[in-house]
Amino acid sequence: MRTRTRVPGSSPEPGWTMAQHEAATAAYWAAVHRRTGYTATNRPGLTTSQNIFYLLLTVFTFGLGAIVWIAAARRTDQTVTPADPSAPMPVWPPPDPSAWG
């Protein structure tokens, strides 16, 4: 029978405080993201009122506002940090949680 691997951060290890658990989980996933690549910034898209503003700007400037609208819409791209495959993969649970305080 196959056993399931525990997902880091799913539940605290026995004897840990919540602060230790949260610190260990954050450190684990930061190491995973460093190794595999990670979306660092995710800007939300334009809201409805912003789109209406840019539409009116485009109409009143005879199409020149479309340049500004396109530039504002392109700012919603995600910034991705490059992966570092040589970074060590962390172990779970971390070896000594009592050292964290």
For the residues of 10-32, what is the DSSP string, one character each?
SSPPTT--HHHHHHHHHHHHHHH
**Do residues 1 and 85 lie in contact, with contact meaning Cβ atoms separated by under 8 Å?**
no
How wide is the angle at C-alpha 21 spanned by C-alphas 38 and 96, nearest 5°? Answer: 100
Residue 52 in domain: yes
Q: How far is CA 56 from the centre of its chain?
A: 34
pLDDT digits (tens, 9 = 90+) for 29-82: 777 777 777 655 666 778 899 999 999 999 999 999 999 999 888 876 566 666
Residue at 92 is within a domain = no
Q: Quote the number of domains for the chain.
A: 1
pLDDT at residue 24, as a whole number: 79
Would residue 63 count as lying in a domain?
yes
What residues make up the domain containing 52? 47-76
